[in-house]
Structure 1
Amino acid sequence: MFYAHSTECSDARDWQGLADHLQAVADLAAKRAARFGWESAGRAAGLLHDLGKYSPAFQRRLSGSGERVDHSTAGALEAKTRFPDGLGHLLAYAIAGHHAGLANTMTALYKKLVTRRAPARAARIEACRATFASMLHETRLLA
């Protein structure tokens, strides 16, 4: 089981499951984006925003490892892959900045995404993508 958020409870019995979190955020983002005709884009952003939480490093962090984990770049890269037109860039921009804030320019986003493609990070991101793809297939999300 993969988790999105932890609590004081160390046995994880009340931790939020990652698939549940992604679905809840996707539903909320879709509802808000529907106001201006972008419901599908909002849903995609919600599903992809925490893709990097599928990494073993992030799951260890929830258990108290204290390691720093970039959990937004994987989702930003996936958005650019799934939506290669301008929409992918917009989604990647929002996803990459969903905690740290939006970058001042698309150039800053590009630099972040390109520098994250170092071999070790690329392998971790690919593992997240594979787990996420499996979850999408099981739940029929982003079909």
Structure 2
Amino acid sequence: MNVMTDPNAARKNWLGLLAKAPASDLAQYLEALDLQAPHQILRAPEIGGVMVRGRAGAIGEAFNLGEMTVTRASVKLDDGTVGHGYVQGRDKAHALQAALIDALMQTDAAERVREGVLTPLNASMSKKKATRAAKAAATKVDFFTMVRGED
């Protein structure tokens, strides 16, 4: 399904961002937001595993790459909105925070949460990615063959 025609594309994007974000950054931005969000835990954080699949050359036959540890949690706001959080690793607090932000993003507080949490989180992660790419580019070696004039 095309991203432009997928009605859940925005939610997929913020859930992906929350799943990949460092737990410390997420906690910092959520605390700075100081948003009162009474909620109950529907699914306490659970640690489990998922199979990661890959493709050779991105187009080849799918194969099982290995297992990855994930933690999931679900919360329900007092207004009935349900949020889910799936994060890599074993951080239960991170999964609960992701679930809470997912729920808040489906309410009237969405713009405030986007500006206070998602936007700075995205900027921080983009900066780290650019730094990592620059370090990798600095070690790039270009191989070429010179023509020696011999047959």
Bigger proportion of residues as strand: 2
Larger radius of gyration: 2
User: Between Structure 1 and Structure 2, which shows a larger proportion of helix residues?
Assistant: 1
Relative contact order: is structure 1 or structure 2 higher (C-alpha 8 Å, sep ≥ 6)? 2
Q: Same fold (TM over 0.5)?
A: no
For normalisation by structure 1, the TM-score amounts to 0.30
* TM-score calculated relative to the size of structure 2: 0.28
